[in-house]
Amino acid sequence: MDQAALLVDTVCRLAGSEDLISAKSNRLRQAILNHDTPQLFKQLLEAFSLQGISDHAARSYMDHHDSPAWHDLQRATSLSPACSKLRSYWSFHGCGYRKDGRTCAEPGIACRCSLPQHDLRNGRLNQTTYSLFLFIRDVAGGNLVEWIDQTLDQASLNGTARYRVSRMRRALIDPLRNVFGVSDKLLNMALADILMAAPSNKLTWLEAGSGMIAIDTLVHNFLLRTGIQRRLGVQHRFGPACYGTGGCADIIARIAPRIDASQYNPGYPRIFPRFVQHALWRWCAQLELGICNGNNIDDRFRCDNKGCPLFHRCERVVLND
């Protein structure tokens, strides 16, 4: 763990963001204060759309196509929908809509269904849009802020203080994981932006948001290449195991208390797992520092980038042997 913390601390010093809370934070904070569910729905939907292709390509598509708003879906489901799957969150499963073939599980009524009428990038996003709307409407009672408040308050009180942040994170992630088409990575990224934009009196929001850890292939491969996974005896394939016991998220959560994030921004909490994870991502991402990724390293061989500040401490494990 000492070696792992040394490597990660070096990355944080070189790639740690001093302004991790997004430029949207003021608007989000106002939405939270106003219990503005439509705005928070829009924020989550934009985040969930960043999958399958590059962020730039996804945002470019969204810039040139209208996305359905909360009120659009309210109108579409206010009367009995043509498809029974759209009547509640619990009945929305097995939709199967595909944009390319204009097909779904109920082709006989597809022409009267509102779901295919939105020109999203692919049919999975149409399903995600309705699934998220129905979750907020039916499970969260139409008030996302109140649902988050209640969920975090309950989770923070049940159990020991040691696992408080982990409990709060799971209390939000576990039910939302059943929204169609969203992964743990997307949920952690999207919720972190919202929770960390909360006003200062919402301490549980800020605490849970700082603990949201999003694992993608870049972060997973960094922990593998550097030998951190091997040293800690937790080598695993990229996927659900990254969020399991001893997985990538767990590794970062264990390293974070050894790195004082407040030295990068006095407004940051001292223990800030999200900051640590984001620094690792920036270290690897092609459009950020781009040091440790498959575009610069031939994964059939050990990394030979002697200019990397970690070179002499990194185990340079072969990714594809």
Residue 181: inside a domain, yes or no? no
Q: Report pLDDT digits (tens) over 125-173.
A: 999 999 999 999 999 999 999 999 999 999 988 777 777 888 999 999 9
Residue 96: inside a domain, yes or no? yes
The mean per-residue pLDDT over the stretch 258-281 comes to 93
Its pTM stands at 0.84
Q: Which residues pair with 103 in a beta bridge?
A: 98
Residue 49: inside a domain, yes or no? yes
Residue 87: inside a domain, yes or no? yes
Q: What residue numbers bound the domain in which 120 lies? A: 36-140
Per-residue pLDDT band for 219 (boundaries 50, 70, 90) equals very high
Residue 58: inside a domain, yes or no? yes
Q: Report pLDDT digits (tens) over 48-67.
A: 887 766 666 667 776 666 78
Q: State how many domains the chain has.
A: 1
Residue 202: inside a domain, yes or no? no
Residue 69: inside a domain, yes or no? yes
Residue 279: inside a domain, yes or no? no
Q: What is the CA radius of gyration of the chain?
A: 21
